[in-house]
Structure 1
């Protein structure tokens, strides 16, 4: 209970599973007491997941190219076509990295890259088919609506044809990549050459209709208003009402290094945690909420477990994009499990579809593979400039 009856009423209704409006969500985000907000969000989590399990994933983010025509102002990873630091990995190198991931227990790969001016649907068909043939046990949770729209444009085909073809080639799930901020004003400010938020969601709807589910994301801290943050959530919830294709929502914070925005605005940890709690209350139709320890740090990630979060994300055996912009947080299998356990939760390894692979009911059940460390061999190409200042560990 708080001193504000209106806020009390909204918080209680949301905690009980009722739907709140965008206006009500904004009021909670800006004015609700922090602890009351977190308690309500955690009540929703407990009702959804009464067993107290918090999941994690082992995967590898493999970048096939850093060449991109979109030139987003917040991105430190991309290089323009014909830039001397531009590169593309061949299929053999991608498959080598997939093999390392399988050896370390990964169940998923996220294949991502820039919007290469020459890569149409056929490129992605070949890429996904090659990975699926070599490692059928790996779930290909990859690319995002931006890449789908780009490949369709390069190949001169519809969004629907592009989705159908890459699904047939082996794509299992679409990442929420490229969402950034969906409302028009902040999106145009940070990514003027990228598709609109409405167009991004249109590609998601097409994929959902064809049985390809996805995650949804949000990047906080590039100058958007509180109202625009809630508008972003609303746009996702509206699509989810129609398709039911979003498995999880994953907000993360803008990283300020090596990009054109240069950290002029950033989201605080408190803003992030409040957004996490409001998201759990607002998304009555999205099953899972994931914390981004990679961008906020492991301490904030653990606090998020008390704000409605039921998934702590992945031990990324490789990650170059956000790391290029300054995300220096690292983890390993032991650390991630301990974060979950010392928060009073039960750790469980999951797959892409959030199915439990191993539940660590007691500490005696915890795995002890010291090789499973985030950012293992986190470098895109030797001497290529990506992550050159990070403490790297070579895979071989």
Structure 2
């Protein structure tokens, strides 16, 4: 059975969720890696690995979502909560541009007291001062939150954000797109269907987005494959996802007490994602959670993108994991693996 599925992948045929499960259970670590590598080179024949220079900017850490996997948020009224001032926001963007950055990743907690106008005006002020910066902002749970506090539909919210300067949407807040799991790990966050609705609507309005999966907490392998299927199905419908980023849950300082995902499992899941998501062009390695050496190996397990320089990253760091890489280090790691590093934009067009 396994051999038939491997042959199916090799000739470019789509596999079912059941076949993906068989591969996970029966294929060896090296078989999964070799198969994912074949798929990667069928989609990207050139030996290029891309990356982007950008910065994560968290405009607030005050949040009512209560996610058990998050060590970064603060409930309303608790010590350590903040809302970034415009002055601080602009300083962070200026630093990003000075370092050759082309994009900011703008995300925050689900703040109960900030009106929707706060977010619209934040985008407008950024674009007025920095018209050249690409704003990759507001994950689907944030968009759903904006809809709830404003009384507007998801489409109306997105249209206003686009008009104010939003350029694309990150795939955060997906965790695992199975509500049985979501209710356990993120009890106050939007449902899987709402996450998909935001992405479907964004794609219809012309926004490109990424998709993520945070695995290794309370889900099963069947749940992970269901997540992949929901991403693949929506991509069949809209074609709006530019990349998929699977990353393992970091249990430090969180409310979920599980063993940390080890590199072999991470690389196997990355490989299965590359094999299964035949309609998502780019798969990103997660050096932020795995460190540079494992991310380098990921380039032989189906990844063709090294992600971001992450000039600033707070959420994973709050869980006790902190890796830092400069542009020179990223390019050296990619070259040492036998690939040519190339800077890119969010839509994967290359920068000269």
Helix, strand or coil for the counterpart of 1:357?
coil
Structure 1 residue 325 corresponds to structure 2 residue 319:
yes
Helix, strand or coil for the counterpart of 2:303?
coil
Residue of structure 1 in register with 2:175 after alignment: 180
Q: 1:273 aligns with which of 259, 263, 267?
A: 267
Distance in 2 between the 1:266 and 1:189 partners? 18
Q: How does 1:78-117 map to 2 (within 5 A)?
A: 78-117=73-112
Distance in 1 between the 2:214 and 2:79 partners? 29
Q: How does 1:1-396 map to 2 (within 5 A)?
A: 6-261=1-256, 263-358=257-352
Distance in 2 between the 1:251 and 1:74 partners? 16
User: Does structure 2 retain, via aligned residues, the 8 Å contact 1:15–1:41?
Assistant: no
The size of the alignment, in residue pairs, is 352
Q: Compute the TM-score of the two structures, normalised by the length of structure 2.
A: 0.98
Helix, strand or coil for the counterpart of 2:53?
strand
User: Does structure 2 retain, via aligned residues, the 8 Å contact 1:249–1:289?
Assistant: yes
Greater RCO between the two (CA within 8 Å, min separation 6)?
Answer: 2
Q: What is the CA-CA distance between 1:41 and the residue it aligns to?
A: 1.0
User: Does structure 2 retain, via aligned residues, the 8 Å contact 1:216–1:236?
Assistant: yes
Q: Compute the TM-score of the two structures, normalised by the length of structure 1.
A: 0.87
Q: What is the CA-CA distance between 1:42 and the residue it aligns to?
A: 0.8
User: Does structure 1 retain, via aligned residues, the 8 Å contact 2:208–2:347?
Assistant: no
Q: What is the CA-CA distance between 1:17 and the residue it aligns to?
A: 2.0
Q: Which runs of 5+ in 1 are unaligned?
A: 1-5, 359-396
Distance in 2 between the 1:39 and 1:265 partners? 27
Distance in 1 between the 2:292 and 2:206 partners? 34
Q: What is the CA-CA distance between 1:264 and the residue it aligns to?
A: 2.1
Alpha carbon RMSD of aligned pairs, Å?
1.1
Helix, strand or coil for the counterpart of 2:307?
strand
The 1:120–1:287 alpha-carbon spacing in structure 2 relative to 1, beyond 3 Å, is farther
Q: What is the CA-CA distance between 1:16 and the residue it aligns to?
A: 2.7
